[in-house]
Every structure is written in structure tokens, then in C-alpha cells.
Amino acid sequence: MVESINGMYKKYLVAVGFMFGCSQVPVKNEQAQLLNKNTNTLLPLTLSQNEEDKWTLISELSDEFDNSVLDSNKWFIQGKNNEYHLWKGSAPAQFNGSNTYLDNGKLVIETKWEPQFDFSQEKFNGRSYENVTTGGIVSKNKFLYGYMEIKSKAALSTVSSSFGGRNKYSEFELFEQVGAPKFYKKRSDKHYNMSIYSLENSNDLNKKKIFNYPLEATDSISKFHVYGCEWDENGIKYFVDGQLIFEADYDDLGNKNLLTEPIEIWANAETVPYFGLPSESDLPSFYEIEYIRVWQKKEL
């Protein structure tokens, strides 16, 4: 199975002039905003002209973040009013609702050194919550099959800036980006993880990793880039700045039942002890998101 995946992986990276560990994905200086000329609605960055009428923007799951406050009909804010969805964060950092806010047309997820915060007495993976607070959002609506796209810039610290989707049985992370790791520094801001997990228990966060690739891709901390994911009943495709960098069928991943239920969207910042924990001098740091957009194919 691994050999099969690697073969498929290399085929597509060569096609866009990209090889893991050797060079970067060619990126555009500006990501054009594509519009359907007939309806004047936004389109995925990856589309060719003859596909523009095949997709519908799902407003309940899309946000330009250009209001004064986050839309509470669309998003659950982790830690707001001391309420949490599934977990309180990756210890030692805990979600704090005030760390997630809108500023100048962007969603900002801030990580703070905040030892005075009223941390939970629970433990997560054997670690206590202490010193550091982060933030995150979860969509209140779900969707089954389509294309999701985010334009974002990762935080300049040891925290992971993450984006992906989850249902009861599986989870995928379009990226986990660590802008300034203290350990494993080869995994710099020009690397990020794409992962898919099978969930062992729908009531908690136990995971079985099905697939993971650390990719050398973009300068994720000094520039905004567009990351996309298309998924259907057969498989999944990943894009960076409109270019396909990986695709696989679920059969190739060894699990035909991956991502076959509606997913909710997650975006958050997490501490990752593997890369080193932030100190007071490293913070605050800011994970910035210009937009999140979701499309589904029109029924013919």
C-alpha cells in the first residue's frame, strides 16, 4: 500500500514541477478571485473555465470574515462562555474564546502567554493545561462531498496552525503548519502536514493515522496562500495555490469508508510538544485567515 501511494504521489508532484525535499511548489504572487461570468458568484481557484457552472457556493459554510464580529450562526468558538466542542485544546495550551476574533477583514486565531488564565484541571495526553491559550472555530453546519478552500497565513511560533474536517468516523487535516519549530527545524515554515485519520471512538479524540505526508510547499508565515481540498465518494485531492499536489483513492489508502459521512470544518491553533513548546518571549503569535469557502457540485 505504501509503495502504491508513493508512486501516485510522485506522479502528481512531478507534473507540477515539485519534488518532496527538493524544491517548492511554484506559487502565484497574487491569487486571482475567480467569478462565474453568468452569476457573478465566487468559484474555486482550481477550476478550469469549462467547469464554472458545475459548482455552487454553500453560504452556510463560507465566510469572508469582513464583518465586525464572527457569525455565530455559522461558527462555534472554542472556549467562548467556557463552552468547548469535543476537547479543550492540545495541552499545555487551552482554548480561550477571546483569542478568536475578526480584525481588518480577517479571522485571527491568537496564541497568548496567559499563565493567569483559569485553566482546566483535566489532563490531555497526560499533560496539564497551563501558561498558554489558543483559539479555534468549528462549523455549525456540515457537508458531504465538495470542495473547500482557505486563504491563510500561519502563526510565527511553535504552535500549529491547522485546518481540516471531521465526522464521527474520520478526520482529515488539509494542513498543520508550524511556523517556527524549536525541534526538527528542517520542518520549517516551508513544510506542512496533510493527514487522514480513522477515529477509534466517536466520543473522543482517539485516532488511527491512515495517511500522512510532510510536504515542502510554500512560505506559509510571510505570505497568504490558498489551500484547497476536493473530496467525493471515491477519494480526495489536495491543492496549493490552485495546483494539484496530491490525490488518492480511498482504496489506495486501505479504507473504503473514509470520509463517507458529512463533515464539520475545523480551524485552530495548537501546541505541539514534538516541535517544542512556546515560551513567553515567543508569544503572542497570530494565525490569520482571509476566507473559508465551500462549494458542492450541482445536481445535473
28 and 279 Cβ atoms separated by less than 8 Å:
no
* pLDDT value at residue 41: 64
Longest CA–CA separation in the chain, Å: 56
pLDDT band at 5 (very low <50, low <70, confident <90, very high): very low
* pLDDT value at residue 28: 34
| Beta-strand runs (E) in 157-242 | 160-166, 170-178, 191-199, 207-216, 225-231, 235-240
Of the listed ranges 53-67, 116-130, 210-224, 230-244, the least confidently predicted one is 210-224
* pLDDT value at residue 219: 72
Average pLDDT over residues 262-266: 96
Query: pLDDT (tens digit, 9 = 90+) per residue, 83-103?
Result: 999 999 999 999 999 999 999
* pLDDT value at residue 15: 32
Taking the C-alpha atoms of residue 215 and residue 199, their distance in angstroms, rounded to an integer, is 23
* Bridge partners, residue 195, by sequence: 173, 212
Q: Which three cell numbers stand for residue 21?
A: 525535499
Query: pLDDT (tens digit, 9 = 90+) per residue, 132-169?
Result: 999 999 999 999 999 999 999 999 999 999 999 998 88
Q: Is the pTM of this model over 0.85?
A: no
Query: pLDDT (tens digit, 9 = 90+) per residue, 45-55?
Result: 776 555 666 88
Domains identified in the chain and CATH numbers: 2-297 (2.60.120.200)
- How high does pLDDT run on average in the chain? 80
Of the listed ranges 2-16, 66-80, 240-254, the least confidently predicted one is 2-16
How far from each other are the two terminal CA atoms of the chain, in whole angstroms? 35
For 67-73, which contacts have Cβ atoms below 8 Å and span 24 or more sequence positions? Answer: 67/102, 68/102, 69/102, 70/100, 70/101, 70/102, 70/107, 70/137, 73/140
Residue with the bigger pLDDT between 13 and 246: it is 246
Most confident of 21-25, 124-128, 173-177: 124-128
